[in-house]
Chains A and B, each alone.
Chain A
Amino acid sequence: MLFVFSIYGAFLGSQRAKEFFNSVPLAVYWMTFVLLLVVGIFIFKRLLRVPALLLIHAGCILVLVGSIWGSRAGHELRKKFFGIDKIPTGLTIIYEGNSDNRVILEDDRIRELPFYIGLKDFRIEHYKPEYLHVQTRQGDNWKFPVEIDTEYSLGSEYGTIKIIKVFENFKINLEGDNRVIVDDSGPGSNPALEVQIQSPDGRIKTRYVFERFPGHTHTDDELFLSYERIISEYISELQVIRDAGVVAEKDIQVNHPLHYGGYHFYQQDYDHQNARYTILMVTSDSGLALVYIGYIMLCVGVCWHFWINKLSGGEKQIFKTETKGE
């Protein structure tokens, strides 16, 4: 049944599959499945006699029980019967220099954590080198690493190109009647390059190449320019604040969440325009220990049963007489 459900779920897509597997009929199915596994262990005595098989099956039970315990329905049941009230999952938005304890739930309700999360700084790191792409109307193209004052040849037809300056936040300020180009240190982000193109006849043109507006050109330009940066990491410098004091700190990244007070905090999203706030996913850690213990038991069990027994000379048992049908 689970095989059929899995394939059906794969056709639904993640979100609808999640709803399907968390629906009431499937909740009944999961409970029945766990019950059958427990009953099976006691009915099929071999599962109790062979430790590896017991580990495999008990591991599966723990994974399922842990998953049910940590599910949305599990959280609601624990609140109803044991008075344990935890937020199952949600999002929190925190601005740089601020702290917040509000969590937006999946149904758009807002709940509060028993502590505050502060954001000292949010930053995006990029792979080095960054690249300047140059393309002609005829389709010739070049890819140059961004290095200040290095002159790159574009062949005898187009001359040379040189990167003069790198901007993190390109802005044009008006000073009287003059337009002044600055790398603004204030809020905002508009990465750009200043480049100089020297044609074969010696004429020099200055152009600005924007990461967010690739191919931005003047009408008489022969070259299309773009600035490529590849994100290597998103980093939120977090503080956990309780009773007006900082009780924990961590720079979280993808794959490196913060764990505090029964919750995990994950880097989920950020302010794409100005990089002034971070969006964190908050998830309860309920049931997680059971799932992980189940995983360990399952892995140890299958390796023990299928590998260790055989390698330690139990080949006969594993491969010859293990089968009930022979």
Chain B
Amino acid sequence: MEIKYTVQGLLIYITIAAYLLALLMSIFRLKKLGQLLYIFGFVAAVVSFGYRWYHVRHVPMQNLFEVFLCLGMIYPVSLFCRRVLRVGGQSADMLIGIVVLFPVGFIFNANPQKLPPALQSWLFVPHVAVYVLSYIFMAKAVFHAVLQLIGKTPGPQGNLLPPEEATYRMICVGFPLLTIGLVLGSVWGKLAWGDYWGWDPKELWSLASWLVYVGYLHFRYMYGKKHAQINSIWAITGLVVIVVTLLWVNLSRFFPGLHNYGAG
């Protein structure tokens, strides 16, 4: 764990601090101030991402540092979920922002890297971007799944969905993104490595996470809200497998494979 004494580091810490203060304001019912701080944190996250982009001269989605930096720009997803999908959990989104930016600020290596030939593809950005977006929705699904398990429901204000339905809705939005990410990765694998499926550990974990949600959607279709707790556990399992896909494969020595350059 190390502190980054750089402009990049400063921007990351400002974002974390803004999200943390926004979360505290939300907890203490100072909603408007919390909202302002949340927006300020988002602006700092965008500036941080832009600064990194300028610094490395390519879209910064190459390694864990850059992907998590991108995950930190969570505010538009919060807004979209609340306004369009009637799914709340803005405080949880601030917490997600803090959780994903913490390793960016204190753990991951920020050394800029040139893109290796395999990553110089038009599929690089869409493949990573849709996965990043799907992970945010799946993380939000888990928050509502936990609310369902502990029996919390949103207040009458805001016309928000109850946790079980919110979980389902988040997965309904995230699952197509997960599917597109998997398919784009496969097409890219064919272009770069000659095979659309290389049985690489990261590919197999991605398939496993996709299958968990396939299972969830079939189970939800079969039994609806009859077994709401099982639905929630299924959603949580999905995120656990995603975390393994995202982190463990890159960091662990157990799964050497074609995607190891992402460890950064």
Query: Which residues on A are within 8 Å of B, measured CB to CB?
Result: 2-3, 6-7, 9-11, 13-15, 17-18, 21, 67, 89, 127, 230-234, 253-257, 264, 266, 268, 281, 283, 288, 291-292, 295, 298-299, 302-303, 306-307, 310, 318-319, 322-326
Q: Out of A232, A283, A302, A326, which one reaches B117, CB within 8 Å?
A: A232
Residues on B with C-beta less than 8 A from A13 are: 201, 255-257
Least Cβ distance of B242 to chain A in Å? 13
Q: Which residue of B lies closest to A9 (CB)?
A: B204
- Show 10 A/B contacts (Cβ-Cβ < 8 Å), sorted by A: A10-B201, A15-B199, A230-B114, A232-B114, A255-B192, A256-B191, A264-B194, A307-B173, A318-B172, A323-B225
Say yes or no: B120 contacts A298, CB within 8 Å: no
Majority secondary structure, B binding face = helix
Residues on B with C-beta less than 8 A from A9 are: 199, 201, 204
Residues on A with C-beta less than 8 A from B198 are: 14, 18
Residues on A with C-beta less than 8 A from B173 are: 306-307
| Listed residue (A3, A230, A291, A326) with the most chain B CB atoms within 10 angstroms of its CB | A3
Over the window 90-109 of chain B, the binary record of Cβ atoms lying under 8 Å from chain A Cβ atoms (1 yes, 0 no) is: 00000000000000000000
Say yes or no: A323 contacts B220, CB within 8 Å: yes
6 closest cross-chain pairs (CB), A and B: A325-B224, A323-B224, A326-B224, A325-B223, A254-B117, A17-B199
Alpha-carbon distance A127/B187, docked complex (angstroms): 26
B residues 94-151 in Cβ contact with A at 8 Å: 114-118, 120-121
Say yes or no: B172 contacts A310, CB within 8 Å: yes
Say yes or no: A233 contacts B117, CB within 8 Å: yes
Alpha-carbon distance A152/B1, docked complex (angstroms): 34
Query: Which residues on B are within 8 Å of A, measured CB to CB?
Result: 114-118, 120-121, 165, 168-169, 172-173, 175-176, 179-180, 183, 186-188, 190-201, 204-205, 207-208, 211-212, 215, 220-226, 249, 254-258
Alpha-carbon distance A318/B221, docked complex (angstroms): 10
Say yes or no: B172 contacts A255, CB within 8 Å: no
Least Cβ distance of B50 to chain A in Å? 22
Alpha-carbon distance A62/B106, docked complex (angstroms): 46
Residues on A with C-beta less than 8 A from B255 are: 10-11, 13
Say yes or no: A254 contacts B187, CB within 8 Å: no
Known: A2-B211, A10-B255, A13-B201. A306 touches B176 (CB 8 A): yes
Known: A323-B225, A325-B226. A257 touches B194 (CB 8 A): yes
Least Cβ distance of A132 to chain B in Å? 17
Alpha-carbon distance A280/B257, docked complex (angstroms): 20
Say yes or no: A255 contacts B221, CB within 8 Å: no
Least Cβ distance of A24 to chain B in Å? 17
Say yes or no: B117 contacts A14, CB within 8 Å: no
Least Cβ distance of A320 to chain B in Å? 8
Known: A230-B114, A232-B117, A323-B225; 17 extra A-B contacts, CB below 8 A, are: A3-B212, A6-B205, A7-B205, A10-B201, A10-B249, A10-B255, A13-B201, A14-B200, A14-B201, A17-B204, A231-B116, A231-B117, A254-B117, A257-B194, A292-B187, A319-B168, A324-B223
Alpha-carbon distance A18/B222, docked complex (angstroms): 34
Residues on A with C-beta less than 8 A from B200 are: 14
Say yes or no: A295 contacts B120, CB within 8 Å: no
Alpha-carbon distance A288/B204, docked complex (angstroms): 20
Say yes or no: B114 contacts A127, CB within 8 Å: yes
Say yes or no: B120 contacts A14, CB within 8 Å: no
Residues on B with C-beta less than 8 A from A302 are: 175-176, 179-180
